[in-house]
Amino acid sequence: MAANQKFKIGLAQMACAKDPEVNLRRALNFIERAARSGARIVCLPELFASRYFCQREDVRVFDLAEPIPGPTTRALGRAAHRAKAVIVAPIFERRAAGVYHNSAVVIDASGKIAGLYRKMHIPDDPGYYEKFYFTPGDLGFHAFPTRAGRIAPLICWDQWYPEAARLAALDGADAIFYPTAIGWHPSEKERYGARQLDAWRTVQRGHAIANGVYVAAVNRVGLEKADAESAGIEFWGSSFVADPQGAVIAEASSDREEILFAEVDFGRLETVRRHWPFLRDRRIDAYSGIEQRFLEPNPKVKKAQ
């Protein structure tokens, strides 16, 4: 096993078209090219099969959802088998009438589904009306064993939650993959853009450090408008890979389609965690408040005098 722990991964930083067939065809092409260049894990951006439709609320969009397994996971399964690569692929999942999830499957290099993740943290912000579309996930946070290590898929908004990364790491993740769709509101970009991008990168690097895992964020690029009048969202790309000490070892452009390659070595988790033994000293007896919304002031513990 140890000999196989050092290999290349490929993040497909795509622009997404309106037509799902076009997106799938292009994704398959990205996967094939990435694998041909040696990538043993390939990750696609969040909801890669469509435009980022959450810019407005429209019930017709649910037509885009499909079951898992379904046509897309089958096509990706064949691609994984052909390419001998693990694929992390976001799917707009139709689970039942009225129950739709923002999901991601991990497909092993055999072509079989190794695990399913349903986005747990659902945002709702101007232009990101995800609570309308996505039922919150009910499968928890997990790392799935594959031929290329234990892979934990999390999705976009999960990036801001230390709990999600921690649970993935405690489940044995070697790497956390975050398929993403995040961008600038054009009116905010000049004033707040750099700060937003920096915070996004920093909080995820923090997860890598605190947990001693690789972190890979895979974003889309391009300006997408809900309609002709809309200012749209300029997806900021900047896909990156951080090593288990939080160092950025590969980073993509903010505006171009590309495959971002990075060399990972899952054997390094052992070394890093021996030197930075954070997991050893966790105070699991004292974290119970984490499962509460907010902690009311308790005058008794405030007065130590």
Residues making contact with its own copies (CB under 8 A): 68-69, 105, 112-116, 120-123, 125, 136, 139-142, 144-145, 157, 160-163, 165-167, 170-172, 195, 198-199, 202-203, 205-207, 209-210, 245-247, 276-279, 281-295, 297, 301-305
In the complex, the smallest distance separating the C-beta of residue 245 from its own copies, rounded to whole angstroms, is 5
The smaller minimum CB distance to its own copies, of residues 132 and 160, is found at 160
Select which of 16, 43, 54, 156 is catalytic: 156
Q: Tell me the β-bridge partners of 42.
A: 10, 87
CB of 230 to its own copies, least distance (A): 20
Q: How far is the CB of 90 from its own copies (least distance, A)?
A: 14
Query: How many Å apart are CA 278 and CA 190, to the nearest integer?
Result: 38
Nearer to its own copies, 130 or 234 (CB): 130
Alpha-carbon distance 242 to 37, whole Å? Answer: 20
Closest alpha carbon to 165 in 124, 122, 127, 216:
216
Given a contact cutoff of 8 angstroms between Cβ atoms, the answer to whether 8 and 263 are in contact is yes
CB 237 within 8 A of CB 255: yes
Distance from C-alpha of 258 to C-alpha of 265, rounded to nearest angstrom: 22
Q: What angle do CA 124, 126, 129 make, to 5 degrees?
A: 40
Active-site option among 16, 43, 46, 234: 46
Minimum CB separation of residue 31 from its own copies in Å reads 20
Do you find a cis peptide bond into 69, omega within 30 degrees of 0? yes
CA–CA separation, 99 vs 241, rounded Å?
Answer: 33
Sole residue written with tokens 């405690």 = 170
AA letter at 235: F
Is 156 one of the annotated active-site residues of the chain? Answer: yes
Residue number, 38 or 277, with CB nearest to its own copies: 277
Annotated catalytic residue 46: yes
Q: How buried is residue 59: exposed, middle or buried, by Cβ count under 10 Å (0-12/13-18/19+)?
A: exposed
Catalytic hit among 16, 43, 119, 224: 119
Q: How far is the CB of 38 from its own copies (least distance, A)?
A: 26
Nearer to its own copies, 22 or 290 (CB): 290
Q: Are 14 and 58 in contact (CB under 8 A)?
A: no
Tell me whether residue 228 or residue 295 sits nearer to its own copies (CB atom).
Answer: 295
Q: Which residues are catalytic?
A: 46, 119, 156
